[in-house]
A and B are shown apart, each in its own frame.
Chain A
Amino acid sequence: MNHLSNVQRDVLKEIGNIGAGNAATAMAQLIDKKIEMAVPVVNIAAFDEVMDIVGGPETPAAAVLITIDGDVTGKVYFILPIEEAEFIVEQVTGDDNFKLLDNGSAQSMGLSALQEVGNILTGSYLSALSDFTGLNMHPSVPHLGVDMAGAILASGLIDLSQWSDYAIIIDTQIRDKSGINSVQGHFLLLPDPISFNKIFNALGVNDDDE
């Protein structure tokens, strides 16, 4: 699937809106700040372009990944730059000196805090989608990765790479409104290619709508 009609694109944007909107509310409660959400972007991206969404393959990033099972299969990432992940952990745990790239075992509490935040956010993203479409989407346990963006994102492309050299990505950015120490993260939804028709059918969009 390398082409989307305008209607299909709009439907996918709406999905990004609903999922990330729900997650942004959860995030605002967690860190007690107002969270703003950008208009979702629907990308049909070659694999190299996927890495560029978060600053290129070598850029260090923190990500929570869940695999979706059920009527729809695919992946959801909550991915953000290292400093911003550290900021979230500091907000949640009250530890002002948390550094993600240190190897000390004292960091493990911060890491599980980050994993839990990612779990809550991706969970609320997915449950909103599931309610909206009426389709079953079960999240896997969340996986936390802190490493080069390319290494982290490629894992989410393996399944769909057996079908395609492109990923359809619904990218919704959120950031906190204060501007200083702004939290800026991306929700990336990557449905497997076979799941798109199920999503479109569930929402009453036909292939030939333009």
Chain B
Amino acid sequence: MMTNDTVSVVRVGIADLNVVQAPSLIRTSGLGSCVGIVIYDLTKKTAGLAHIMLPDSSLSKRDNLNNYKYADTAIDILIQHLIKKGARKFSLKAKIAGGAEMFQFATTSESMRIGPRNVEAVKRELKTHGIQIVSEDVGGNRGRTIEFDPDNGALHIRTVNKGESII
């Protein structure tokens, strides 16, 4: 039998996504320019988390895409997985975190401004799906670890220097 001491935490890696139901928690670690997108249905206590690296799948320079890597494709798939788990599309909400600029690159490479571009792409994609962003902690120049509780909708954000906050 599960006790409160053994709440399971599902970990999502970089360019990955997953879906959980309460009492499980879902977490991703070390977000820099990447964005963590939590989409959840509080009435069903179901939440999904995607950890995306790049804004747009059209940036890919090859054919066999890893769809979990891009804001546009990952959000589509995350919503499908949530609905399969019993979440209802009309009650989906989102919380997002990440999109920092860890280094100030002075080059013309794609790394430039990738954090803010990721955030813009995530917001555009969520808007397309009509999903409201309830709260966000984006930009800046800090790394973040985030953990979401589908039971109460709290998103815990931990940083190295500035401690922990809940949004």
Q: Indicate if the CB atoms of A48 and B161 lie closer than 8 Å.
A: no
Taking CB atoms and an 8 Å cut-off, the chain B residues in 9-39 that contact chain A are: 13-16, 29-34
Q: Is the interface of A mostly helix, strand, loop or mixed?
A: mixed
Q: Indicate if the CB atoms of B13 and A48 lie closer than 8 Å.
A: yes
B134 adjacent to chain A (CB < 8 Å): no
Residue of A nearest to B59 (CB): A162
- Selected from B34, B62, B66, B104, the residue in CB contact (under 8 A) with A154 is B34
Q: Indicate if the CB atoms of B15 and A148 lie closer than 8 Å.
A: no
For A163, the chain B residues whose CB sits under 8 A away are 61-62
For A152, the chain B residues whose CB sits under 8 A away are 32, 102, 143
Q: Indicate if the CB atoms of A154 and B33 lie closer than 8 Å.
A: yes
Tell whether A150 pairs with B106 under 8 Å between CB atoms, given A158-B53, A161-B54. Answer: no
Residue of A nearest to B14 (CB): A47
Contact code string A154-187 (vs B, CB < 8 Å = 1, else 0): 1101110111110000000000000000000000
The 14 listed contacts between A and B (C-beta, < 8 Å) are A48-B13, A57-B29, A58-B145, A67-B111, A140-B107, A143-B104, A145-B102, A154-B102, A158-B111, A159-B111, A161-B53, A161-B69, A163-B62, A165-B69
The interface of chain A, by Cβ under 8 A from chain B, is 47-48, 51, 56-58, 60, 65, 67, 69, 101, 103, 140-141, 143, 145-152, 154-155, 157-159, 161-165
